[in-house]
Amino acid sequence: MKLSKSLFYFSTISSIFILLTATLLVFGFRNNEIAQYIGNILLNILAGIIVLIFTSLFDYFIKRRECLESIMKQCQFWAVEFNKLTYFKEKIVDKMIEINKKDEEGIDINLKAKEQIKQYVDTENKKNLEKAIDEYINISEINLNDFWDLYRNLDFIFDYKSKNKEEFWNEIFNYVNIKIHKIRKEVYHFKIYKKSNNGNYYVNARKLKELQKEIFYIEKQEWKIENEEVWNKNLSSIKSSYSVDVDIVDKSKTLIFNEITDHLFTMYDKVANIAYYHKNDKE
């Protein structure tokens, strides 16, 4: 794409220069045989360059389509990879005890039962934390070379002040890069935690929960029958998988979905419109 654009610019500028020079020689030096001879040669060269202009332009649009299709595949790939990340929600001992009390019709739970619940919660939390950490480690180790090669090759012919390319940078390439960089920064600590026999669960759980704020959309509201489907985010417009977590103790519900996946699937559609239908294409 970039090479085709450079060739188009070179041939267009060359043809203008040759046309002006040939015109000057042919009409400005009519009685000079050498000038007429050189002018005719330049006009012949111009004919070949005009063919090159159309050839390079045709090749540009082919490469442009291929590049945009590859970007669509990358949007889809990263959307799927981010969607593999599990939302880590810590189980809370007091809530588990309260739930069990409700199950037992308000009968108080003895100390032994409370200790069993605490052990169960601790075990489940650590198991879920390790599972989530593994998913973040996996996505952090994906190679970005092909991703950046696409951006380097992306170069539109009619793109005033590179606005189109800047939009691709902000909404896709740098967007993914920032998220991956933040994940890799925390993965360093996660790997130490996994290698250690007595790693600090609470520190890593806190780091993971902070990281999740950069990835997941979370909306909590009071659980009422009359507003069961009322969310700030239209559920039908969400392009990633989502869940609605119900808390019977707090009488609340929480909408959770991967915001990165949702954004990248939206960009997939937008790039497809540019590639195939030229909608929103400012070229």
pLDDT digits (tens, 9 = 90+) for 69-93: 999 999 999 999 999 999 998 887 6
Residues 73, 77, 78, 80, CA torsion sign:
positive
Tell me which of 153 and 283 has the higher pLDDT. Answer: 153
| Same domain as 142, residue 93 | yes
Rounded mean pLDDT, 38-66: 90
Q: Which of 19-33, 72-86, 93-107, 220-234 has the lowest mean pLDDT?
A: 93-107
| Same domain as 144, residue 209 | yes
| Same domain as 26, residue 75 | yes
Tell me which of 230 and 22 has the higher pLDDT. Answer: 22
Q: What is the band of 116 on the pLDDT scale with cuts at 50, 70, 90? A: confident
Of the candidates 195, 213, 231, which is a domain's last residue?
Answer: 213
| Same domain as 256, residue 207 | no
| Same domain as 94, residue 71 | no
pLDDT at 283: 43
Contacts 24+ apart (CB under 8 A), 254-257: 254/218, 254/219, 254/220, 254/221, 255/217, 255/218, 255/219, 255/220, 255/231, 256/87, 256/216, 256/217, 256/218, 257/216, 257/217, 257/233
223 Cβ contact list (under 8 Å, min separation 6): 246, 247, 251, 252, 253
pLDDT at 4: 83
| Same domain as 228, residue 131 | no
pLDDT digits (tens, 9 = 90+) for 240-271: 888 887 776 777 788 889 999 999 999 999 99
- The range of the structural domain enclosing residue 275 comes to 215-283
- The overall pTM is greater than 0.75: yes
Q: How many whole angstroms from its chain centre is CA 6?
A: 28
| Same domain as 264, residue 182 | no
Of the candidates 83, 118, 146, which is a domain's last residue?
Answer: 83
Of the candidates 29, 56, 83, which is a domain's last residue?
Answer: 83
Spatial CA neighbour of 211 closest among 192, 243, 194, 187: 187
Q: What is the band of 123 on the pLDDT scale with cuts at 50, 70, 90? A: confident
Q: Which of 94-108, 122-136, 181-195 has the lowest mean pLDDT?
A: 94-108
| Same domain as 184, residue 97 | yes
| Same domain as 70, residue 105 | no
Tokens of 110: 């003895």
Q: Domain total for the chain?
A: 3
Residue type for position 214: E
pLDDT at 281: 45
**Please, how many CA atoms are within 13 Å of residue 174, restricted to the half-sphere of its CB?**
7
| Same domain as 191, residue 96 | yes
Spatial CA neighbour of 82 closest among 215, 271, 239: 215
Q: Which of 19-28, 129-138, 142-151, 222-231 has the lowest mean pLDDT?
A: 222-231
| Same domain as 16, residue 98 | no
| Same domain as 199, residue 105 | yes
Q: Which of 143-147, 265-269, 279-283 has the lowest mean pLDDT?
A: 279-283
pLDDT at 110: 66
Residue 102 clears pLDDT 60, i.e. is over it: no
Residue 103 clears pLDDT 50, i.e. is over it: no
